Structure 1
């Protein structure tokens, strides 16, 4: 029998829960509720918030890099710049294997896991939206330590995604998360031009 270390199993738990969250969402909501969660206004607000979150994160990352807390993965950025560094060549050197998981699957599954399945259910059952948003943001930030390292912006963006979910619905938080991921990567490369 093969034994897998916990460090290889832990990162996939939110994705498994995300799939459960998607199934629960579609089985427990009506068509009208889904239309309300995914209306064009909420999606547009989510997109704009995601871009603004990315701008905020770049500023935080720049401040952190001044104090050598976190470096914007400078080896990847510097190698890209050495190969030409133009925005048109960005997609040539950006690892294609990251597009589906980072820009599509992660926002959908993480938002369904953290916002809808866990936070949404706790808030509906007990109230205390602020306390549960902080609690879920701590868990969300802890879960991202292995992939992007320690940074305060993950916690703050997670809090903002929670507020967006509570006010505009799951569609807005998913699109904000997706547009945040795309914008953050593009802005990270643009800041080194």
Structure 2
């Protein structure tokens, strides 16, 4: 078996994934973008990724409140990070055929969820919203002087051979070329 879950004849999860993608396109208008060995499925014209198809299986976005119930309803499925505000359920490649109908419904709901304007939440709070404190002129100049005084002096360039001027001298003071 190779990294895509297929044997040497090309039989494996790939036909199921292709069928899933075709049937998902018939249910919703989507954009598909390749990213390395994975596919990202988004609602058309939106930026939030709804479904990720990769060699290990299929991941789809779900509402955080329903994530555990959805994962328990499908064998081989699990919630990727239960504490993350952007909740994803993953179905392993070996279980795509077993859960095909439920997986198709769940991926269609994921596309609808992202199309409804519920993109992935920002994971970090942005510091731009906080106003910056103003520093008085006198305090700012002394701080700059102490930072400048704390910097180490730059190292001098190592001495070069006075004859060839090409090589740095060894610790013994000789040229490493041996010809000078």
**TM class by smaller structure:** under 0.3
- The structure whose residues are more often strand, as a share, is 2
Give 1 or 2: higher helix fraction.
1
- The higher-RCO structure (CA 8 Å, 6+ apart) is 1
Output the TM-score relative to the length of structure 1. Answer: 0.25
